[in-house]
Chain A
Amino acid sequence: MRGRPSSHSQAGGLAGLLLLALLWLPFTAHAAKIGDISETSLSEQAWRFLSFEDPSVRYAVGGSLLLGVSCGLLGSFIVVRKMALVGDALSHAVLPGVALGFLWNMTKDPLAIFLGATIAGVLGTGTVSLITRTTRLKEDTALGLVLASFFAVGICLLTRIQRMSVSGQSGLDKYLFGQAAAIGPDDLRLMAVVTALVVVIVLLLYKELLMASFDPGFARVSGFPVAWLHHGLMLLLAFAVVISLQAVGVVLVSAMLITPAAAAYLLTDRMSRMLALAALVGMVSGVLGAFCSFLGNNLPTGPFMVLAASLVFALAFLFSPRQGVVVRWWRQRSRARRTQRENTLKAIYHVLESRGFAGESVSLRELAERRRETIEDVRGQAGELARHGLATLHEEGNQVLLTPGGWQTAASIVRNHRLWELYLTHEARIAADHVHDDAEKIEHVLGEEVVRELERQLDFAKQDPHGRAIPGAEEIHRPFSSGRSDELLGYGKPQ
């Protein structure tokens, strides 16, 4: 994993470049309005960012990458533990600590602010658990209570500081909504140390954290110190929140914990991959947010980072390979269409069978009667078969002739159906007139292996419970005349 962040950062930077090109399009329209204060044009500003010559740009990008990693890693744990809103409460609760850290020696000393904020954050989460343990108030009430009360103390301190005659307090309000450009070399060093600590601890305690997150009961009886792991995680979480404050801001840090991790949660089932993906998403949205806020004058960074993360989440929500809404809809649709095609093929088989496989092709009228549908409906279904190479249409589309592939599918579906009916009546002792509906569903999903097994169990029976022949392998895979001199050769006819 030590080597990973660097390779990720390259990948992240690259993906960021691609994404921001897309993201920026709608904003260019307002460029004139934003740019009224700044002298430089949007493209110059963009070039300044991308050329990487400005040290403040380098600090901002470095900081965004680091906070993306630590927030993504720790956010994954709170998302799977259903503790997302603990992150929210924690991130608001650090504000008084920031103010007190500043008051310590009246400068924005990164270390003092870091310590103050961490103490405030730990105090906040401690208060939440104290309230839930000692009163009948529920956890959500306790979280909201601590979040808002601590935040109010922070606001009072900040407004107090603003009205004191102290120099060097400017920029303290940047802690509310974040300003990546304000990250200095000292801040960056602290962020690097904390991120390294987070990565190392997550790697070392991966198994313990995983167990405590998914099955705390088992972890406890296995002798893991679950309570300590929880407190340790809270402390790390406070660290991650605090180093992100300057770039993301108190108000939106929780989103950098939750959103990248939730996006990763949609993309994979394995915790290790989720951690890596969440860190990647965190880095991408961090850099993207820093870039976007850099383009305007005095634009806060936090909201851009959060929106970039939300964009990634929205994409994962729609297009995640397994869980994406669009992907699932598409899969469902194609499955429904395949079932529909297979049902048409089956109907053609039934028509052929009803004439003892005498004719060659099936007319739309016969098919419509069999399926109890209109000619027009059936014409559409036949066209669908032709498009998938399962049948050919003749006599101006009024005659349907199965191709070898179409015949194989049709015969297999009929075989699946009848085998299953036989199985249910034989093995499950279900009455013969109750098995059709079930077979109607399962015929489309039975795999080859299951079919072999069914055939063995049923001693390669030739007839279904209704007395009709079950097509065997020789019918399904029977050879076709390769010459095909006559198109209407009659594939339906058994040898």
Chain B
Amino acid sequence: MKDLIPPFNAQEVLVMPWTDGLANFGWIALMGFLVAAACGLIGNYLILRRMALVGDAISHSVLPGLAIAFLLAGSRGTLPMFLGALAAAVLTTLIIEVIHQKTRVKQDAAIGIAFSSLFALGVLLISLFADKVDLDQECVLYGEIALVPLEPMTTLGASTLGPPSVVRMALVAVVVLALIGLFYKELLVSSFDPGLAATLGINATLVHYALMSMLSVVVVSAFEAVGAILVIAMLILPGATASLLTHRLPRALGWSVLHAALSSVLGVHLSVWLDCSVAGAMVVMGAVLFALVWVFAPEQGQIARLRRHRADATGTA
């Protein structure tokens, strides 16, 4: 019990990652930031549309798709993995819809059944073909972000770009940002007011499925780094924190990117200090940030609320 919390060595914990360990921790922090930022941007819309748990379901159920793609393609190629995951994501939404429509089982239970069956299938495939599939059970849960700097660097011409997964994640994050910029109005209107969207001629179904496919792209690229369950945290925490800070969507998107940056950097420090899972530490720091905002946010924070209550009480007295 005593050595659970190691002594806090400021030099080691605060300075080392940015000096001697930069080649290592720099990439890890950057990867964590990219994952959290891409997830967080989409997460804002999931939260608005009350689809937070669909993100949960999809992040679990891509696993069998990844495992089967792995078995068929025999390598960790980007395209087969992506196709497998996309197929699994579509299958999940289909199973949920079929159960929900054909029986009296409610949607929440249908979500639970669909993703747990697919996730169980994925875990079994991984353990049955452990020698062929280069994913292990722990990686499925909390990822292997610490291995990112060890990958052989991707190069473009003479310049070194970085580890391939970081490059891929950066690409995904840029694409997500660009898509949100391009279809800002469509996403905004269809999330807040489906009725208005219909009168403006916005195809809500199309927007829904576009968002879902974007979600599965992000989940697949983030999967190896942070694992199935921590992806959910990255999807929900930045957006939830942001929505306690502002009522305006553009600002919320900005806040969630800031949350992503802070939680990944603080997470690196925490993991160096405690010598624990990096992805886990990033999420813990993200949750701490959420808790701080929950208490101290200027308008919606608990302290501000209490103060308003008291002001109201004295005002009426």
In the complex, what's the smallest C-beta–C-beta distance from A168 to chain B, in angstroms?
Answer: 13
Alpha-carbon distance A147/B141, docked complex (angstroms): 13
Residues in A whose Cβ lies below 8 Å from that of B53: 85, 140, 143-144
Residues in B whose Cβ lies below 8 Å from that of A82: 106, 108-109
Inter-subunit contact A134/B117 (CB<8 Å) = no
Residues in A whose Cβ lies below 8 Å from that of B279: 152, 155
Whether a CB of chain B sits under 8 angstroms from the CB of A413 is no
Alpha-carbon distance A161/B274, docked complex (angstroms): 10
Whether a CB of chain A sits under 8 angstroms from the CB of B123 is yes
Given A148-B283, A155-B280, A258-B116, A141:B124 Cβ within 8 A:
no
Closest to A304 in B: B124
Whether a CB of chain A sits under 8 angstroms from the CB of B237 is yes
Inter-subunit contact A303/B123 (CB<8 Å) = yes
Inter-subunit contact B113/A262 (CB<8 Å) = yes
Inter-subunit contact B243/A147 (CB<8 Å) = no
In the complex, what's the smallest C-beta–C-beta distance from B23 to chain A, in angstroms?
Answer: 22
Alpha-carbon distance A304/B121, docked complex (angstroms): 8
Whether a CB of chain A sits under 8 angstroms from the CB of B1 is yes
Interface of A is mostly: helix
Inter-subunit contact A177/B137 (CB<8 Å) = yes
Alpha-carbon distance A46/B204, docked complex (angstroms): 53
Inter-subunit contact B116/A255 (CB<8 Å) = yes
Whether a CB of chain B sits under 8 angstroms from the CB of A92 is yes
Inter-subunit contact A157/B112 (CB<8 Å) = no
Whether a CB of chain B sits under 8 angstroms from the CB of A300 is yes
Inter-subunit contact A306/B117 (CB<8 Å) = yes
Inter-subunit contact A303/B120 (CB<8 Å) = yes
Total residues of chain A contacting the partner, CB 8 A = 67
Whether a CB of chain A sits under 8 angstroms from the CB of B287 is yes
Inter-subunit contact A160/B243 (CB<8 Å) = no
Inter-subunit contact A252/B4 (CB<8 Å) = no
One of B85-93, B172-180, B227-235, B253-261 contacting the partner: B227-235
Alpha-carbon distance A143/B142, docked complex (angstroms): 19
Inter-subunit contact A106/B1 (CB<8 Å) = yes
> Binary interface profile of A, 450-472, with partner B (CB < 8 Å = 1, else 0)?
00000000000000000000000
Residues in A whose Cβ lies below 8 Å from that of B280: 152-153, 155-156, 159
Whether a CB of chain A sits under 8 angstroms from the CB of B62 is no
- Give chain A interface residues in 463-483, CB to chain B under 8 Å: none
Whether a CB of chain B sits under 8 angstroms from the CB of A87 is yes
Whether a CB of chain B sits under 8 angstroms from the CB of A138 is yes
- Give chain A interface residues in 73-89, CB to chain B under 8 Å: 79, 82-85, 87-88
Closest to B123 in A: A303
Inter-subunit contact B232/A148 (CB<8 Å) = yes
Candidates B104, B117, B286; contact of A255 at CB < 8 Å: B117
Inter-subunit contact A144/B56 (CB<8 Å) = yes
- Give chain A interface residues in 243-264, CB to chain B under 8 Å: 251-252, 254-255, 258-259, 261-262
In the complex, what's the smallest C-beta–C-beta distance from B219 to chain A, in angstroms?
Answer: 13
Inter-subunit contact B141/A160 (CB<8 Å) = no
Closest to A176 in B: B141
Q: Which of A33, A82, A141, A300 has the most CB of B within 10 A?
A: A141
Whether a CB of chain A sits under 8 angstroms from the CB of B99 is yes
Whether a CB of chain A sits under 8 angstroms from the CB of B47 is yes
Inter-subunit contact A155/B52 (CB<8 Å) = no
Given A143-B53, A252-B116, A148:B233 Cβ within 8 A:
yes
> Binary interface profile of B, 32-52, with partner A (CB < 8 Å = 1, else 0)?
000000000000000100111
In the complex, what's the smallest C-beta–C-beta distance from A285 to chain B, in angstroms?
Answer: 11
Alpha-carbon distance A137/B44, docked complex (angstroms): 12
Total residues of chain B contacting the partner, CB 8 A = 66
Whether a CB of chain A sits under 8 angstroms from the CB of B302 is yes
Candidates B51, B119, B300; contact of A251 at CB < 8 Å: B119
In the complex, what's the smallest C-beta–C-beta distance from B137 to chain A, in angstroms?
Answer: 6
Given A144-B232, A151-B229, A156:B112 Cβ within 8 A:
no
In the complex, what's the smallest C-beta–C-beta distance from B266 to chain A, in angstroms?
Answer: 13
Alpha-carbon distance A85/B47, docked complex (angstroms): 16
Candidates B103, B112, B124, B305; contact of A303 at CB < 8 Å: B124
Inter-subunit contact A164/B4 (CB<8 Å) = yes
> Binary interface profile of B, 236-277, with partner A (CB < 8 Å = 1, else 0)?
110110011000000000000000000000000011001111
Candidates A83, A134, A310; contact of B113 at CB < 8 Å: A310
Inter-subunit contact A92/B229 (CB<8 Å) = yes
Given A144-B56, A147-B56, A136:B300 Cβ within 8 A:
yes
Whether a CB of chain A sits under 8 angstroms from the CB of B129 is yes
Residues in B whose Cβ lies below 8 Å from that of A155: 141-142, 230, 276-277, 279-280
Inter-subunit contact B108/A85 (CB<8 Å) = yes
Whether a CB of chain B sits under 8 angstroms from the CB of A149 is yes
Whether a CB of chain B sits under 8 angstroms from the CB of A163 is yes
Closest to B295 in A: A134
> Binary interface profile of B, 274-317, with partner A (CB < 8 Å = 1, else 0)?
11110111111011001000100000101001000000000000
Whether a CB of chain A sits under 8 angstroms from the CB of B111 is yes
Whether a CB of chain A sits under 8 angstroms from the CB of B20 is no
In the complex, what's the smallest C-beta–C-beta distance from B188 to chain A, in angstroms?
Answer: 18
Residues in B whose Cβ lies below 8 Å from that of A151: 229-230, 233
Whether a CB of chain B sits under 8 angstroms from the CB of A307 is yes
Whether a CB of chain B sits under 8 angstroms from the CB of A313 is yes
Residues in A whose Cβ lies below 8 Å from that of B286: 149
Inter-subunit contact A317/B112 (CB<8 Å) = no
Residues in B whose Cβ lies below 8 Å from that of A173: 138
Alpha-carbon distance A265/B113, docked complex (angstroms): 13
Inter-subunit contact B112/A254 (CB<8 Å) = yes
Inter-subunit contact A84/B111 (CB<8 Å) = yes
Whether a CB of chain A sits under 8 angstroms from the CB of B127 is yes
Residues in B whose Cβ lies below 8 Å from that of A177: 123, 137
Closest to B247 in A: A136
In the complex, what's the smallest C-beta–C-beta distance from A244 to chain B, in angstroms?
Answer: 13
Given A84-B109, A149-B290, A176-B137, A164:B233 Cβ within 8 A:
no
Residue numbers of B with Cβ under 8 A of A are: 1, 3-4, 47, 50-53, 55-56, 99, 102-106, 108-109, 111-113, 116-117, 119-121, 123-124, 127-129, 131, 137-138, 141-142, 229-230, 232-233, 235-237, 239-240, 243-244, 270-271, 274-277, 279-284, 286-287, 290, 294, 300, 302, 305
Question: Which 6 pairs, one residue from A and one from B, show the smallest C-beta to C-beta distance?
Answer: A148-B233, A255-B116, A152-B283, A149-B287, A155-B280, A303-B120
A–B Cβ pairs within 8 angstroms, 27 of them: A82-B108, A131-B294, A134-B294, A136-B244, A136-B300, A140-B51, A144-B52, A144-B56, A144-B235, A149-B233, A149-B284, A149-B287, A151-B229, A151-B233, A153-B280, A155-B280, A161-B4, A164-B4, A251-B141, A262-B113, A300-B123, A303-B120, A303-B123, A303-B127, A304-B124, A306-B116, A323-B103
Given A144-B233, A251-B229, A317-B102, list of 6 further CB < 8 A pairs? Answer: A33-B128, A173-B138, A304-B120, A307-B120, A313-B113, A323-B103
